[in-house]
């Protein structure tokens, strides 16, 4: 596919590239978005019923069951061509990935992720003492959706997924790293994000305030579209490989 010349020129000049990725980045791998995951067994639940600390306190087996199911679903799919293209790009430039996604598809494609703004499905930790948990994860939810969470070896508390729940702050270090990566980049690409979830959605504006060129890759217009320097109506798995191939010519 043809890549807009102005975007190729910006990418070719950039030595430090920050890529902000959202749900659209992983959708082409078959990862359901947060709300799209509310199907079948889980259709009767609102996401807010399954993504809060209070919900976990009320029914840890139900909440852990949903996240065990989501974890298994994310592990069952493979990185797409967009993920692989970012890993390839990192061989010729400094590419820093700041993602809102809780899967590990970037890492499995060969990239190093600077910041998981909303945590990671794979980063389990103790709900009581916050110690990381590296033990086995129970199988995904059965017929009733319930999975008893494992217990912390240090304090015996229930283990929770390492994602950011409603009402919780973003990981301070991850967000600070994301802000800095937008401030000192030569180019910021925003790939597959809705532009609706703050404070992550404010990062392109951080870049713009520093005079850093910003480019949006998204097949549909978003609230960010009018705030960035360039928009490209394409998907991650189509656009990113084409862009990286153009840089090699």
Return d(Cα 32, Cα 131) in angstroms, integer.
29
Cβ(108)–Cβ(76) below 8 Å: no
Element (H, E) at 109: helix 105-109
Do 62 and 50 touch, CB atoms closer than 8 A?
yes
* Residue 146 Cα to chain centre, angstroms: 25
* Residue 230 a catalytic site member: no
Residue with tokens 């000192």: 184
Rounded Cα distance between 50 and 34, Å, is 11
- Kindly report the length of the chain: 249
Largest separation between any pair of C-alpha atoms in the chain: 57
The H or E element that residue 16 is part of is strand 16-21
Peptide bond into 199 cis (omega under 30): yes
Q: Are 219 and 234 in contact (CB under 8 A)?
A: yes
Given the residues 83, 106, 118, 230, the one annotated as active site: 118
> What amino acid positions are annotated as catalytic residues?
118
């Amino acid at each position: 596919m043809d890549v807009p010349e102005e975007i190729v020129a910006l990418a070719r000049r950039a030595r430090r590239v920050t890529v902000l990725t959202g749900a659209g980045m992983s959708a082409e791998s078959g990862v359901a978005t947060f709300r799209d995951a509310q199907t079948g067994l889980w259709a009767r639940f609102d996401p807010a019923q399954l993504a809060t600390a209070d919900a976990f306190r009320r029914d840890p087996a139900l909440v852990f069951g949903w996240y065990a199911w989501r974890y298994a679903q994310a592990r069952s799919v493979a990185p797409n061509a967009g993920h692989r293209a970012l890993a390839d790009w990192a061989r010729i430039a400094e590419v820093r990935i700041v993602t809102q996604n809780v899967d590990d598809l970037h890492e499995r494609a060969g990239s190093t992720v600077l910041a998981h703004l909303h945590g990671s499905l794979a980063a389990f930790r103790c709900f009581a003492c916050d110690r990381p948990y590296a033990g086995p994860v129970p199988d995904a939810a059965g017929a009733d959706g319930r999975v008893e969470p494992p217990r912390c070896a240090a304090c015996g508390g229930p283990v929770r997924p390492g994602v950011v729940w409603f009402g919780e702050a973003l990981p301070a270090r991850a967000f600070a790293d994301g802000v800095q990566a937008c401030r000192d980049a030569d180019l910021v690409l925003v790939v597959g994000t809705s532009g609706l979830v703050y404070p992550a959605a404010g990062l392109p504006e951080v870049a713009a305030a520093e005079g850093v060129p910003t480019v949006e890759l998204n097949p549909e217009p978003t609230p960010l579209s009018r705030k960035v320097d360039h928009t490209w109506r394409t998907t991650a798995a189509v656009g990113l490989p084409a862009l990286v191939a153009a840089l090699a010519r």
